[in-house]
Amino acid sequence: MLEKYVRKLFDKDEKSADKKILDEVKNLFQSNFDFFLNYVDSLGNIVFFITDRDFVIKYANRIFLRLVNLDDVLEKSLKVFLPPYIKNLPIPENKRSEKILLHLKCRKPDINISLEGYVLGSENLLIFLLERRGFTYHELFEKISDLNNEIAKLTREGQKKDVLIENLKKELKEILRKDLVTDAFNRLYLKEVLEREVGRNKRYKIPLSLVLVDIDNFKLINQNYGRTTGDKILKKFSKLLIENTRMVDMVFRVEDDNFIIMLPNTNIEGANIVANKIKKISNSTLFEGNVSISVNSAAVECLEDDTVESLIDKSYKAMQLR
């Protein structure tokens, strides 16, 4: 019975996997049989891949390959498919497992997909069983396509639905721009806005700064209080950032516990004032369930040779020096 499920997990093609790897996976699942069966019922949604303990890929199923838009990833490092801000991944001990939230580069540039699940360790291998969390690039634009089709249908029928059409257009913009959990702007919109503001900085010498804000050990909050409480904390934290910045400033959620505040017409001195203010208020605020959080912040200013990418990278490097 176990061998049948393992063959299914390997896309019904054991030949594509090295026999030594296959045997090690079978032995590991044999010792974690109940855990394994919990995933089998939803294999259509499982992103399944295997690496050695140095994160060199030894097997990847079709779902993983579709996400990275490649036909073959064998012997490539998993880190090639991860955003640069991910520095460490969990490495469970032999025959142990750990929960993991992984951000994977999608087939489109600047789009990351959140994957959530488990990584199991064997003597030589790491086995990842992950499910997609939130919208994928494809699903997001399917929803947009549905909204566009609805607009077209109303137009063809000649109905006087101007208000409805405007609401649908606004919803379309919100999907593209907003983070679904916190109501802050999302990473996609950050790049669009930064391209405009960096251009103004170079053209008119208008100061521009970013403040990166990070919630310490947010993973532990989700583990100890649950993801629902974690989401409520994130939403209140996002509101706190918006309320304590100017109307012209913009707050973006770039990762689970990372937010970037864009400060137009602000130099590094002003940005440091904002960073310290946010840190002080956040660290003294009680959130959902009387949970307190610890926040770090780092400010950077756009310089003459900065690009959108270098400015964001600079903010993460400044945070690492804290």
In order, the DSSP letters of 96-120 are: -EEEEEEEEE-SSTT-EEEEEEEEE
Structural domain boundaries in the chain = 2-133, 137-177, 185-320
By three-state DSSP, how is residue 137 classified? helix
**pLDDT of res. 54:** 94
CATH of 2-133, one of 3.30.450.20, 3.90.700.10, 3.40.50.970, 3.40.50.2300: 3.30.450.20
Is the full-model pTM beyond 0.75?
no
Q: Return d(Cα 277, Cα 94) in angstroms, integer.
A: 45
**pLDDT of res. 31:** 67
pLDDT averaged per 10 residues, the chain (length 322): 60 58 74 58 70 93 86 92 82 89 71 82 91 60 71 70 76 83 92 95 96 95 91 95 96 94 97 97 94 96 95 95 82
CA angle in degrees (0–180, nearest 5) for 108-113-116: 160
- Residue pair 271/302 in contact (Cβ under 8 Å)? The answer is no
Q: Return d(Cα 37, Cα 165) in angstroms, integer.
A: 47
Q: Which helix (H) or strand (E) holds 320?
A: helix 308-320
Q: Return d(Cα 76, Cα 162) in angstroms, integer.
A: 52
| E strand spans, the chain | 46-52, 57-60, 97-105, 112-121, 125-133, 185-186, 208-215, 250-253, 258-264, 286-287, 291-292, 295-301
Give burial (CB, 10 Å; 0-12/13-18/19+) of 241.
Answer: buried
What is the signed CA dihedral for 154, 157, 158, 162, rounded to 10 degrees? -10
CATH of domain 185-320: 3.30.70.270
Dihedral sign from CA coordinates of 145, 147, 148, 153: positive
**pLDDT of res. 46:** 82
How many angstroms separate the most distant Cα atoms in the chain? 69
